[in-house]
A and B are shown apart, each in its own frame.
Chain A
């Protein structure tokens, strides 16, 4: 058995998977959790009438859902439902509190980039540490996919308008501080 590992970008220690099924089960839990969180953030942004950011989070949710489906297909899992990841929050999951009702697409992309980079590092660390060749290969495969996502989000970010310094100013704020 491998020693406990630290999940990229987090302080969480976990037991590395021992075989391909365990690894893919972990990957599925992570991808599903991230998809779910992006969908929740998209809903929250819709409620706050921040349509552009809602759309972006929805797109991220779809990407992560696609990932989860690919894992299922690769393993020929039809009914499998992940029981949850060993992490409090997986390395790819954006924090529930990482949003603001006035945030702009640029902020959303920065957030997504950080998550994709963490995921890439997570799979890379795992590939470097595991003993099982099948797990290593699968981890490298997912690492490569995450790298593509990092590049994609970086390209979107390069095109996104940088927010003005006073982006969070609200002429009719919910909270009066003066």
Chain B
């Protein structure tokens, strides 16, 4: 019995909670949950040292389904809460998760500044190009001609390109994954968690209820035909011509990570209080 991989002390199951997901059968988010738990098992992280922070949406329900600490917060504010947590507790591994509505619409401004600050977080966006939870409104990544009862004739608006925005704003690791490839996604997530600074992983995760045509994504995705680059300008050229279906790590940089240790204060609270003493 030689040549067998050594026993893994923790498996993906270790990181799953007893709560059963209430996502629609077939939703891509099931696979994302599976990939997140597989990635944590690959890294063998103690569940009590991991926190999953989310906003609001179907995808944002994910913390409850893990056995880690969780914070299911306010719509669009997951990155703000997670940044505060990581700064206060740099010893924890902080994952942030949510949807394209949560992250790119209402949370868009937090997204820019989280990239710019480059705090050591892993941000997972389950992108289904729609607001699933609120019954199918278009999101910033919805195609301009997507016709629906809630957007007759389509929005005719240019789509938001989250990977380009992340690179321009300072994210240190940028990847795209596909929920239909749970093991490949787990591998990308493990790399993202290991990489210092702000890691952004966009996961194409079909909403089978409001965007049933996304079941076809599995025939459209392909491995990115390039190796990860540390060169931001090369990554920019690559991302500007990207059609949204290239899967893999597209940028792994070495931008300076936000120092988490607080700087030595210039003045003490007591001194400040003394100035205002009556």
Binding site for B on A (CB under 8 A): 18-19, 21-22, 25, 36, 40-41, 43-48, 50, 75, 79-81, 83-85, 87-89, 95-101, 103, 174-178
B:31-45 near A, CB below 8 Å: 31, 34, 38
Question: 10 tightest CB-CB pairs across the interface, nearest first?
Answer: A44-B25, A99-B25, A43-B20, A88-B181, A96-B31, A83-B5, A21-B4, A21-B1, A97-B26, A81-B8
Whether the Cβ atoms of A22 and B183 lie closer than 8 Å is no
CB pairs A–B below 8 angstroms (24 shown): A19-B3, A21-B1, A21-B3, A25-B5, A44-B20, A44-B21, A44-B24, A46-B20, A47-B22, A48-B24, A80-B4, A81-B7, A81-B11, A96-B31, A96-B179, A96-B182, A97-B28, A97-B180, A97-B206, A103-B25, A174-B135, A175-B136, A177-B148, A177-B149
Interface size counted on chain B using CB atoms at 8 A: 39
Q: Are B149 and A89 in contact (CB under 8 A)?
A: no
CB closest chain-A residue, reference B136: A175
| B30 contacts A by Cβ under 8 Å | yes
B210 at the interface (CB under 8 A from A): yes
Q: In the bound complex, do residue A44 and residue B30 qualify as a contact, i.e. CB atoms below 8 Å apart?
A: yes
Count how many pairs of residues, one from A and one from B, have CB atoms less than 8 Å apart in the complex: 93
From residue A123, how far is it (CB to closest CB) to chain B in Å?
Answer: 19
Given the known interface contacts A21-B1, A84-B38, A174-B209, the answer about A99 and B26 at a Cβ–Cβ threshold of 8 Å is yes
User: Which of these, A41, A88, A89, A177, contacts B25 with CB under 8 Å?
Assistant: A41
Complex CA gap A86/B104 in Å reads: 34
A12 CB, nearest partner CB in chain B, Å: 10
Q: Do residues A97 and B208 form an inter-chain contact, with CB atoms below 8 A?
A: yes
Closest to A44 in B: B25
> A150 CB to closest chain B CB, in angstroms?
25
Give every chain B residue within 8 A of A46 (Cβ-Cβ).
Answer: 20
Q: Is the CB of B30 within 8 A of A89?
A: no
- A88-B181, A88-B184, A175-B210 given. 8 additional CB < 8 A pairs? A22-B4, A43-B21, A44-B20, A47-B21, A85-B183, A89-B182, A96-B180, A101-B25
In the assembled complex, the CB of B113 is this many whole angstroms from the nearest CB of chain A, namely 34
A46 CA to B8 CA, complexed, in Å: 31
* A44–B22 alpha-carbon span in the complex (Å): 7
Tell me whether B23 is interfacial, beta carbon within 8 Å: yes
Q: Considering only CB atoms, which chain A residue lies closest to B13 in the complex?
A: A36
User: In the docked arrangement, what's the CA distance between A36 and B24, Å?
Assistant: 18
Residue of chain A at shortest CB distance from B211: A175
Tell me which of B1, B34, B180, B186 has the highest count of chain A C-beta atoms within 10 A of its own C-beta: B1
For window 137-160 of B, CB contacts with A under 8 Å fall at 148-149
B residues less than 8 Å from A178 (CB atoms): 149
Residues of B within 8 A of A97 (CB): 26, 28, 180, 206, 208, 215, 218
